Structure 1
Amino acid sequence: MKRYAPLLTLLAVAVLGLGLLAVNVAGEPDGSAAPAAAAAAAPAETTAPAPPAPAPTTEPAAPPAPEPPAVAEKAYAGRSSGDEVTVAVAVKDGRAVGYVCDGEEIEAWLEGTVEGDTIALRSGDGEVGVAGNLDEDAAFGDVTVNGQSWPFSAKAVQEPGGLYEGRGDVRGVATRIGWIVEGDGRVTGLARSAGSAAPQPAPPLDPNAPDRVVVDGAPITVTTIDGGDVVVGR
């Protein structure tokens, strides 16, 4: 029996070694599971949404040019560029009246319109006209007389400057007189009697004392003309 003792001991050691080896193998983690677990633990990769396309830009439309302000009521007096005629224009609420006179033989009353800063006036026979522009300070454009045109400019005036009309019976004949008083006090005018083809010199006018105008002993009624008056066909 003793002779088998070393052999039994060797077998026991071998069995113990096999048992320890099995325990070690069972305790090691499965290498194939680790990558799967790691993959499960990793957050899912997401694609960031594309930024919205910028809205198309358009250039803002330029605002329309403002309409020139209308002149409510004003009177202007001046002359053509070569001093051929004197021109007066009075405007009020979209209407315009005027008078063109050279103090010798040309004289005509005109009516027309004001649209924005544009004026257009004609005489009753269409032979005399004024066309141009105005603002609060001046009127300028062209004056036409019997087919001839000249540039003119006229300054805005306050009374006693402006346009005046006189009416009276002179020697029993209805007489009409027109005067233009410029800002510097110069006065240009002519008188026309009913039935007369040619005008006559106008009597002197003091715009500060209009009731003193007398022709051949006949008193003349003098009024200031504004853009609202009717002057053609009277």
Structure 2
Amino acid sequence: MKPSGPLFTLLAGLLLGIFMLSLNATTGTRATSSSNDVTPTQTPAAPSPSTAPPTSPSPTATLPADADYAGRTADDSASVAVSVRDGKAIGYFCDGRSRESWLKGDVEDDGSVALSGTDGARLDGVLRAGRIDGTVKVGDRTLQFTAAPAVKPSGLYRATAEVRGAKIVGGWIVLQNGRQVGILNRDGKPAAAPRIDPASGAVTVDGTRLTARPVVP
């Protein structure tokens, strides 16, 4: 039997089409694979500048305000006064009979007070809440005390002079209630001091009029 020409032609075309489809599929897969294998070069991001927070300035230390303080020891046997000016302080301990001590030193920024006097006398305290709390050592005794703000005429007073050939040194503490405690030394011999006029500081010693003045460092 003689093969049909059109059938042969159709089969040949079908085989060619299948071959071309297979070739295109293979070529496309390779092209896609090739494009996926290429990793684009990435430029690393520049590091951002440091943004550390600014350093806060240290707080400025503040000295305790200038003021005067007066009070009593815990056993009510003596008085204590302290005058503060520009970080310096003068203190006075007095029992109004025979024992006294003048002390001086510094007031620290935190309000601590450390004053010293003759013969090992010492006053240590802390200035806070508007008053001074601490201890005072005079001789063989150490006493606790509290001193509150002293507004004139209360406060610490002192007078020095020569009267009838004797050296006079007087110290007075005027408390907030008007009570006065003081010692008058005549050539180093202590005795209870006469009252002063707080308004003027006037005081009479052995018939001589003197002036007691507020004490400041």
TM-score of Structure 1 vs Structure 2, range by shorter chain: 0.7 to 0.9
| Distance in 1 separating the partners of 2:140 and 2:92 | 17
Equivalent position of 1:78 in the other structure: 71
> How far has the Cα of 1:32 moved from its partner?
5.2
Contact map agreement 2:101 2:138 (CA 8 A) in 1: no
- 1:220 is paired with a residue whose SS is strand
CA separation of 1:68 and 1:77: change in aligned 2, threshold 3 A: farther
Contact map agreement 1:136 1:156 (CA 8 A) in 2: no
CA separation of 1:35 and 1:186: change in aligned 2, threshold 3 A: farther
- 2:168 is paired with a residue whose SS is strand
Q: TM-score, normalised by structure 1?
A: 0.75
| Distance in 1 separating the partners of 2:132 and 2:61 | 14
Q: Deviations over 1:77-119 (max 9, x none)?
A: 0111111221011111221111100011111211111122111
Contact map agreement 1:169 1:218 (CA 8 A) in 2: no
Identical columns (%): 34
| Distance in 2 separating the partners of 1:33 and 1:74 | 103
Equivalent position of 2:204 in the other structure: 214
- 2:4 is paired with a residue whose SS is helix
| Distance in 1 separating the partners of 2:29 and 2:205 | 124
Number of aligned residues: 199
CA separation of 1:67 and 1:145: change in aligned 2, threshold 3 A: farther
Q: Deviations over 1:28-69 (max 9, x none)?
A: 33425414413533662779x9xxxxxxxxxxxxx9x97874
| Distance in 2 separating the partners of 1:118 and 1:125 | 22
Alignment of 1:52-91 (within 5 A): 69-91=62-84
Q: Which amino acid aligns with 2:212?
A: V
The one of 15, 36, 39 aligned to 1:44? 36
- Unaligned segments of structure 2, at least 5 residues: 43-55
> How far has the Cα of 1:136 moved from its partner?
6.2
Alignment of 1:85-234 (within 5 A): 85-116=78-109, 117-126=111-120, 128-135=121-128, 137-194=130-187, 196=188, 198-211=189-202, 213-226=203-216, 228=217
Runs of 4+ with deviation above 3 angstroms: 65-69
Could you say which structure has the larger radius of gyration?
A: 1
The one of 14, 17, 22 aligned to 1:27? 17
CA separation of 1:185 and 1:37: change in aligned 2, threshold 3 A: same
| Distance in 1 separating the partners of 2:95 and 2:8 | 144
